[in-house]
A and B are shown apart, each in its own frame.
Chain A
């Protein structure tokens, strides 16, 4: 029987196995940031265990960094302390850190692929659930807890039971204005927030084959929002072209040798999956969410469903929405374009393309937060910054920002924010804030109109 992409990468990384128990899985790259690493460093220190493979660790500061005046000292003392601990821990353990202000600093899931750290066929972990992003390269990449961060520090391995396999296939051609974000919100709205729990998901079919690497990263990023530890897309020429020439990618003959191996990774024709789902590209339209988990999504033209369930009702009460109502024309005062889901250059190109020549609505505060210093430079070099500034948008500096509101970028209590991030949980963007997830195109349109509009009318 044939093997899946996931099987091939997993099996190549199994070091050992415990009888009737988990396997010892080798980890190629370990990404760390300031929030989930300090306790792991402390644990190693207390137990007098050295970091085993510092060369395979990449560190960045992103979750807790300010997105304005990054050159000034950080005002929040707890944040400052956390960032200083990261610097100190990296220095003591010979780990390369792309700290605040570094030309390669950025959100871990944006800067690592950008620098060529992320390559097909690897295993990559990080103390962050959106590590699934890197699966876009045909990589087994998943989020881990801090105890596991310590385990990888100590041994470059993890004890894991092999997850089950799931495949989502979408064939056909996407309609105009339907972006990767809409595709993944559509999938999650159909499958629910826990359908992927216990599984690794492969995305297959025309839609993903024809998608850019940036789009594939948006898709794989949100795999965790349907419960899947990770998502994967088979590496192909699009992948190889993206990786080639990046700073830490293999060069010359070494690169060609890698490509020959990467070409063997796609799922065999006769491989089978534990679960399979099929959708048609034509059925997907621009999406928005109305509730407090990413599975509560609808086409922007649809009404909120009528479901009699206590948790569903609690969610609508939090959002101050009613069953059966349409969200079109709802006034919106905050728009956030950013996060590890949608802060790559393509996302800002889409937004700029829509915004060009228009003016932001008076009532809207619109934050544009690039995923990395490199994306920020691209925005400036391509002239997008001028478009944004002329339209009244604020281009801020890179970081996780209002996606999780650990820094000062918080949405006020009771306010709606149309956001390109990944989670609409209660209070995710600030205490009492109400998040509506959408694509960068929908977010840009809402910022211009000051309310939710039926974008499909403009697209047709």
Chain B
């Protein structure tokens, strides 16, 4: 198993990443698939990578499913390239913890569910949303050439295939971008606003 990175409580800084990628050509991947509910009994954030995509990776007896892409040794890397509407369903942040614990640093899709996207950003996992056409080409390139190197540049907000002109730009909230680049999280900012929050509470009109 590829535990490339253990997440710390504080956010890891993110600037650029060059890596091969794993093509998960399935749409509507829900968070129940990313981490099934029966693994949510843990009370810390560590170790969820063991069970990421559990029921797609293993059968009921714990044997590897050779058809599932994560078990195909041809493909590796810190980038998961997935079908449309990735991360739909449950709000469980365990999904983001499982993906980062397994070693992913970037998820590419043509569409992300809201809650998952926020959870990913809060854990230093970068969701890169690209146009559907771009995703299609990306998936087929990686499938055909598993050593395809992708370059994700957060500063410039671009994703490209190394050594080619194939490139797309992606959107990210300016505040979240600063957080990702510097490893900040929201709590420190909110705590700095304590006085404003207390003043709001005192003057609430509703």
Contacts and interface: CB of A to CB of B under 8 A. Distances in A.
Main secondary structure of the interface of A (DSSP, over half): loop
Contacts of B55: 426-427, 431-432
A16 B193 contact: yes
A311 interface: yes
Contacts of A413: 60
15 contacts: A15-B193, A26-B200, A143-B115, A145-B118, A147-B93, A147-B185, A151-B186, A154-B187, A155-B187, A229-B115, A311-B26, A405-B37, A406-B40, A425-B32, A428-B32
Kindly state the interface size class of chain B when it binds its partner.
35 or more
Nearest to A293: B28
Contacts of A406: 37-38, 40-41
A160 to B, nearest CB: 9
Interface stretch (A40-48, A95-103, A437-445): A40-48
Interface of A: 12-13, 15-16, 18, 20-22, 24, 26, 35-36, 38-39, 42-43, 46-47, 49, 63-64, 76, 78-79, 81-82, 85, 121, 127-129, 143-148, 150-151, 154-159, 161, 163, 193-194, 197-198, 224, 227, 229, 261, 293, 310-311, 314, 404-406, 413, 423, 425-428, 431-432
B73 interface: no
Interface of B: 9, 25-28, 30, 32-33, 36-38, 40-45, 55, 60, 83-85, 88-94, 96, 111-115, 118-119, 122-123, 173-175, 185-187, 189-191, 193-194, 196-197, 200-201, 204-206
A138 B26 CA distance: 36
The residue among A121, A198, A229, A425 with the most chain B CB atoms within 10 A of its own CB is A425
Given A20-B174, A426-B55, 10 more contacts: A12-B205, A22-B175, A63-B37, A81-B41, A154-B190, A155-B187, A158-B190, A293-B30, A425-B89, A428-B32
B84 A194 contact: yes
Given A194-B113, A261-B206, A431-B60, A43 B175 contact: no
Given A42-B43, A129-B89, A155-B190, A314 B26 contact: yes
A36 B41 CA distance: 9
The residue among B92, B196, B206 with the most chain A CB atoms within 10 A of its own CB is B206
B28 A193 contact: yes
Contacts of A121: 206
A193 B85 contact: yes
